[in-house]
């Protein structure tokens, strides 16, 4: 356990999130998603639902603000604008962490193709269908000159 980190952030997941670079994407998917077939790197979080995992990931992952679209959700079949309750929950969770970003719907083949190209995939045990989301990693901006780093430690001063 670590202070200030959601316990859903397993060692493997933290390592993966840290290893990702700007522009890399990570998918968080439901229990029915073909994770083994689509993942370049598969992280299993069995026993956990999607929304708590999404919330944990967003608590540490910066979202890309260099592009107009950086958060994507799956759709109900080809119904791009249909929102199931899980989609509304995903949008609400993202809005709490990234209030200026929209969650963009991607229809099946477009969503699947993007997941297959993603840096990693987190498979949850979410039982609801179409409960899948992709996050594009952004950057952590340097502090203003003269600003004190957290706990008075500047990791870039040797």
Catalytic machinery residues: 22
Cβ neighbourhood burial of 36 (10 Å; 0-12, 13-18, 19+): exposed
Cβ neighbourhood burial of 146 (10 Å; 0-12, 13-18, 19+): exposed
The pair phi, psi for residue 18, each rounded to 5°, is -70, -35
Angle, alpha carbons 118-120-122 (nearest 5°): 120
């Amino acid at each position: 356990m670590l202070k200030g980190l959601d316990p859903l952030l397993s060692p493997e997941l933290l390592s993966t999130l840290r290893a990702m670079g700007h522009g890399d994407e990570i998918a968080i998917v439901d229990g029915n998603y073909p994770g083994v077939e689509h993942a370049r790197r598969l992280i299993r979080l069995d026993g956990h639902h999607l929304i708590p995992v999404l919330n944990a990931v967003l608590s540490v992952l910066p979202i890309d603000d260099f592009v107009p679209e950086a958060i994507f959700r799956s759709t109900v079949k080809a119904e791009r604008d249909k929102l199931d309750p899980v989609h509304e929950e995903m949008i609400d969770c993202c809005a709490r962490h990234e209030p200026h970003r929209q969650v963009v719907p991607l229809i099946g083949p477009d969503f699947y193709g993007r997941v297959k190209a993603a840096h990693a995939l987190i498979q949850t045990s979410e039982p609801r269908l179409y409960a899948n989301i992709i996050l594009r990693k952004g950057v952590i901006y340097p502090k203003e000159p003269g600003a004190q780093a957290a706990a008075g430690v500047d990791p870039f001063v040797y």
